[in-house]
Amino acid sequence: MRRIGIRHLPKLHVPTSSLGLAATLGVYVGYRYYETRYEDVVLGTESAQNYDYPTQVQYPFGYGISYTDFSWSDYAVAESGDKYEVSVTVTNNGSHAGKDIVQVYMQSPYTDYDRQNAIEKASVELVGFAKTGVVQPGQKETVKVQVDKESMKVYDADGYGTYIVDAGDYYFAAGQNSHDALNNILAAKGKTSANGMDYDGNASLAKKYSIASLDSQTYAVSLDTGNPISNQFQDADIKHYDSGYKYLSRSDWTGTWPTVYANGSWTAPNQMITNLEINPVNDPSIPTPVTGVIDENYGRLNVAALMEAEYDSDLWDALIGQMSVEDLDKLVRVGGYATMGIDSIQLPATTDKDGPAGFSNTLVGGKSGMSYPSAIVLASTWNVDLAQEFGKAIGEDSLRLAVTGWYAPATNIHRTPYSGRNFEYYSEDAYLSGMICAKEIIGAQEKGVLVYMKHFAVNDQETNRMGGAMFANEQSIRQIFLKPFEISARVGDAHGMMTSMNRIGARWTGAHYGLMTETVRNEWGFEGVAITDQASFSVFAYEDMRIGLEAGNDLWLNSDAELWKLSAADMTPTVVSNMQKASKNIAFAISRSNAMNGLSSGSKVVSIIPLWQKLLIAADVILGLGIIACVVFVTLSRKRGSNKVK
């Protein structure tokens, strides 16, 4: 089993107030910081007196031990279309059978253009991995790892305002862990322990590729949708409000070391306070939407008839047009641990449950499913096949328990070892997190589970996560915090996500249009439903329905039939139109789920009251009658006592 990194923390004060600097280190989260500063010492651009790697790191990212010994040989990297194919022969030199993991790391050039435009580059980042089968003693296996050329892109917020590929030398290295791979790269550069390395690397396990000129075109448009990619998160950068703030930079480690706002050293400007306010949009140009009408071109439709319809089919608009305003309101507003059945479109109700390590009855009662190891344990196996099997097992549990929606997997970043939900999340590395999560989603969706990957996004702490304003720069948001979700959407084809309770910048994540629409749907091509995190109490007022619907949040995790109900004046054409868009996303996601099992276009969905609800109603009636009887008894007793006194 490979550990996913154990190390000492840099001495950084992380604020715990409602203003959170989620990425004061920029892209230098976890091993990216430790390995990068180590390389700079070896290269002579950083003083060894300022940084001593062995005292900072106990175990590098990817470190692991085995009952046997492996050696690697015949390392090769070859271009193949839009990928690099990395191959290496793994030989078992020990006396026990075992599996090994080939980890592939990339180093990008850190150029003058980067320094001038505040682009940061880690010395190594994980771009691929593969696990062998069981290799017997004395036997060998050739492992191949596919690395997307897209891995070479970096986000350039201040220059081109999109993704670029820098000119310069790129290295692809295999290693037993991140530090091993970096030492192999340094060896390829001609460095040895004489230059300050803690051990000599193996130059034969690193290959260099040179890019002649900067490319600002290839990844400036989405490979999934063809839409242009541009800055979306400048409002989430603390420099938007404090222009003098500095993010950690390898161009000046000491001079850019993060400081914390404390003891009144900085006051939030009025613009930030204003931006925290709820400001619903009412577009007067939007006509009153058509509701509750059967389209004359298609006739009456139901969801079962659209199970194979593409997301952009006109049939979905015709279907949603059959829903009344009351139907729309009920579907999007009351979605706590269930989605409502809608008779007008024959949408079946669903039961949804929490539990990244298996369905849990803790919050909503009913039956629990199997209890599985947590995400951090699964990620430590570096086994994508196992992750997919875990997803399938969740799917089998969902069928046995009649549960459709799964509030999981959870795939935020381990920014520090002290983050409150690390057990639910996979890793400090975005690529490992994303690949394990994507495979888990693929397995679960094979069985019809509607996954809600969470907590989207920049949610890496538990303290003050309700409404906390988290700030980070655009590069770190995209390359670190959003990356696992991006992989899960693009590779895993997830049909659901759960937005987080925190704000990104001054805007609640579910109400951030740049996040929920421009990035998730227009860039990644996400097709499905976005639900809030817990929204069943008035304390979550900042998760306002009007602004959430406008941005691209579709469903509220709310079980209160009256909470979030809008007044007639608030049900503007803008709001109703957004409710229709959200209802389409909900219906589309459910149409791809096991809630449709056994249904056909001729099926009829009938609303029923389940036995448990009947029993609950009966208990309420009996309790109510008992209370009335007690009141009557007490009243009559007091009257008798009063008559006796007279």
Residues 464-502: tens digit of each pLDDT = 888 889 999 999 999 999 999 999 999 999 999 999 999
Q: What pTM was estimated for this model as a whole?
A: 0.90
- 502-544 pLDDT, tens per residue? 999 999 999 999 999 999 999 999 999 999 999 998 888 999 9
Claim to verify: residue 528 and residue 628 sit in the same structural domain: no
| Residues 645 and 553 grouped into a single domain | no
Give the C-alpha separation, 379 to 2, whole Å: 8
What's the pLDDT at 16? 33
Q: How do residues 119-129 score in pLDDT, each as one tens digit?
A: 999 999 999 99
Does residue 72 lie in a domain region?
yes
Peptide bond connecting 457 to the previous residue in cis, omega within 30 degrees of 0: yes
Compare 356 and 266 and report the one with higher pLDDT.
Answer: 356
Higher pLDDT, 631 or 499: 499
Is residue 80 domain-shared with residue 173, that is, in the same domain?
yes
- Among residues 581, 551, 549, the alpha carbon closest in space to that of 564 is found at 549
Question: Which of 179, 200, 231 is the endpoint of a domain?
Answer: 231
Whether 74 has a pLDDT exceeding 70, the answer reads yes
Say if residues 280 and 546 touch (Cβ distance below 8 Å). Answer: yes
> Using 50, 70 and 90 to split pLDDT, how confident is the model at 5?
very low
Question: For residue 341, is it within any domain?
Answer: yes
- What's the CATH code of the domain at 190? 2.60.40.10
More confident residue, 9 or 599: 599
Same domain, 550 and 636: no
**CATH number of domain containing 435:** 3.20.20.300
pLDDT of 13 higher than 80: no
Answer whether residue 182 shows pLDDT above 70: yes
Q: Is the per-residue pLDDT at 590 higher than 60?
A: yes
pLDDT at 17: 39
| pLDDT at residue 639, as a whole number | 65
In terms of residues, how long is the chain? Answer: 646
Is the pLDDT at 267 greater than 90, yes or no? Answer: no
Q: Determine which of 206-220, 222-236, 245-259, 614-628 has the lowest per-residue pLDDT on average.
A: 614-628
| pLDDT computed for residue 250 by the predictor | 96
Does 511 share its domain with 618?
no
Specify the pLDDT at position 538: 81
Q: Is the pLDDT of residue 237 over 50?
A: yes
User: Does residue 83 sit in the same domain as residue 138?
Assistant: yes
Of 204, 231, 258, the domain-final residue: 231
In a domain, 343, yes or no: yes
pLDDT of residue 465: 84
Residue 358 is given by DSSP the state S
Burial 249-276 (b: 16+ CB within 10 A, else e): bbeebeebebeebeeeebeeeeebeebb
- Collect all residues with Cβ–Cβ distance below 8 Å to 500 and sequence separation of at least 6: 454, 455, 456, 457, 458, 459, 465, 509, 533
208, 173: one domain: yes
Look at residue 6 and tell me whether its pLDDT is greater than 70.
no
Mean pLDDT within 410-431: 92
**Residue 311: inside a domain:** no
The pLDDT value recorded for residue 439 is: 98
pLDDT at 615: 60
Mean pLDDT of 103-108: 98
Dist. CA 482–CA 427, nearest whole Å: 13
Residue 618 predicted with pLDDT over 70: no
pLDDT band for position 609 (50/70/90)? low
Task: Tell me, yes or no, whether 257 lies in a domain.
Answer: no
In a domain, 290, yes or no: no
Q: Is residue 42 part of a domain?
A: no
554 and 527 share a domain?
yes
Quote the percentage of the chain above a pLDDT of 90: 80
* pLDDT of amino acid 3: 41
How confident is the model at residue 523, as a pLDDT? 98
In this structure, the answer to whether residues 519 and 621 fall within a common structural domain is no
Structural domain that includes position 331? 327-596
What are the distances in angstroms from CA 485 to CA 66, 124, 394, 413?
31, 21, 19, 10
| Between 493 and 643, the higher pLDDT residue | 493
* 483 falls within a domain: yes
Mean pLDDT computed over 314-332: 98
CB 389 within 8 A of CB 443: yes
| Together in a domain, 221 and 338 | no
Q: Domain total for the chain?
A: 3
Q: What is the mean pLDDT of residues 258-271?
A: 83
529 and 569: one domain? yes
CB 607 within 8 A of CB 344: no
The answer, yes or no, to whether residue 442 has pLDDT greater than 80, is yes
pLDDT of residue 4: 42
pLDDT average, residue stretch 549-571: 96
pLDDT of 306 higher than 70: yes
Identify whether residues 629 and 517 lie together within a single domain. Answer: no
Q: Which of residues 188, 216, 231 is at a domain's end?
A: 231
